[in-house]
Structure 1
Amino acid sequence: MSKWRQRLERIEAGDSQTKDQSGGGFGNFDSFGKAVRPKALKPANPTIRIGPDYSDPLDVVDWFNERAAIIEEGCAVSRQEAERRAYECLIVDWLNRATSKQEDSTRCVRCKSAVSDQDAVPVLDGKGGHYVIHDACWPAWMRERRAAAEKALAAYGLSSG
């Protein structure tokens, strides 16, 4: 017999040793020792979101300012440093969202030439998939993607400096 079942039987039999000293219950029992069903757990805040809605410029700026305030307060850094970190969060979020499916996984996503096992680097795309790219192409590809992200964020009035 499980410990839970033994405890339940003791409570149903009125064993006072299963209650805390204040008379209140514990676990899935009310203050009278009667078993109760646990309530379904609900998210504490169902409106929490990972990143902004890029179709709404105000949402992007609000998310940036909110993130900067959280970083400033939580990390005890200057507002300028907090904004720099919030901007980097936006860059990463944009890079994770701005992905496209690689049509041919035997070809480099940047230069489109064939990729061998010796020079292939799988790169996660942020949506559960990956890209295959040459080791030598990766730095330039990342610079190009970051430049695209910075250009997209500049359209919202945000910049790294």
Structure 2
Amino acid sequence: MSAVRALRAARDAGVRIGVDGDALTLEAEAAPPAAVLDLLTLHKPGVVALLRSGSDGWSGENWLALFDEHAARAEFDDTLPITSAENRAFACCVAEWLNRNPAGSPPGRCLGCGGSEHAHDALLPFGTEQTGHAWLHSRCWPAWRANRKDAAVAALAVFEIHETRTSP
């Protein structure tokens, strides 16, 4: 069992969990089952990490809620099979992570290679006005984009949000 599953088991048992420093705070109408307390103790560092907000302002709990919401909508509203629904939800989470963790660079320098603009190799802005631009040569964009997606996938994997592999 993981921190994500321990947190879900606690929530299913009616336990409200918070973080105070490095300690977990628990509130419940009735005493939680011993098995739930054991899971929370065993996975305490991971549960604390799930409940803390990251630099993007979201906690692991927020990411799990976003994933669950998109997966449920795709499965029930769009009638997709569960694997397809979860893969769509994963793609939505990757896009949201990229939006919440923008990469910008000063004009005149390629974020991919560090080089400057040349007459035959213009720097192009990638991004939005709200988050700023990453300036890149067109040849540098594919590798930079792949690295950004890899960073999103790794960040989401911490919360056990991942693409579901389907057999061919």
Q: Normalising TM by the smaller chain, what interval?
A: 0.5 to 0.7
Q: Secondary structure at the match of 1:92?
A: helix
Instruction: State the 4+ residue runs in structure 1 displaced beyond 4 angstroms.
Output: none
Shift of 1:159: 1.0
Q: Which structure's residues are more often strand, by fraction?
A: 2
Deviations 1:56-76 (A, max 9, x none): 212211221111101112222
For 1:129 and 1:117, locate their aligned partners in 2 and report how far apart those are by CA, in whole Å.
24
**CA RMSD after TM alignment:** 1.9
State the number of aligned residues: 108
Q: Residues 58-137 of structure 1 correspond to what in structure 2 (within 5 A)? A: 58-102=61-105, 104-116=106-118, 118-119=120-121, 120-125=123-128, 127-137=130-140
Distance in 1 between residues matched to 2:57 and 2:77, nearest whole Å: 25
For residue 55 of structure 1, report the CA deviation from its aligned partner.
3.5
Partner residue of 2:149 out of 146, 149, 153: 146
1:5 is aligned to: none
SS at match of 2:85: helix
- Distance (whole Å) between structure 1 residues aligned to residue 97 and residue 77 of structure 2: 23
Query: Structure 2: which amino acid aligns with 1:140?
Result: A
Deviation at 1:54, TM superposition (A): 5.6
Q: Percent identity?
A: 31
TM-score where L is the length of structure 1? 0.61
What amino acid maps onto 1:159 in structure 2? H
Q: Deviations over 1:82-135 (max 9, x none)?
A: 110010000011111111431x21010111110236432221147342221011
Structure 1 residues 154 and 54 mapped into 2: Cα distance closer, same or farther (>3 Å)? farther
- SS where residue 124 of structure 1 aligns? strand
More helix by percentage: 2
Describe the shift of the 1:86–1:123 C-alpha distance in structure 2 as closer, same or farther (beyond 3 A): same
Ranges in structure 2 where 5+ consecutive residues have no aligned partner? 1-55
Q: Which runs of 5+ in 1 are unaligned?
A: 1-52
Aligned CA distance change for structure 1 residues 118 and 75 (closer, same or farther; 3 Å): farther
Change (3 A) 1:101 1:140: closer
Contact 2:94 2:152 in 1 (8 A): yes
Question: TM-score normalised to the size of structure 2?
Answer: 0.58
- Tell me which structure has the larger Cα radius of gyration: 1
Tell me which of the two structures has the higher relative contact order, counting C-alpha pairs closer than 8 angstroms and 6 or more residues apart.
2
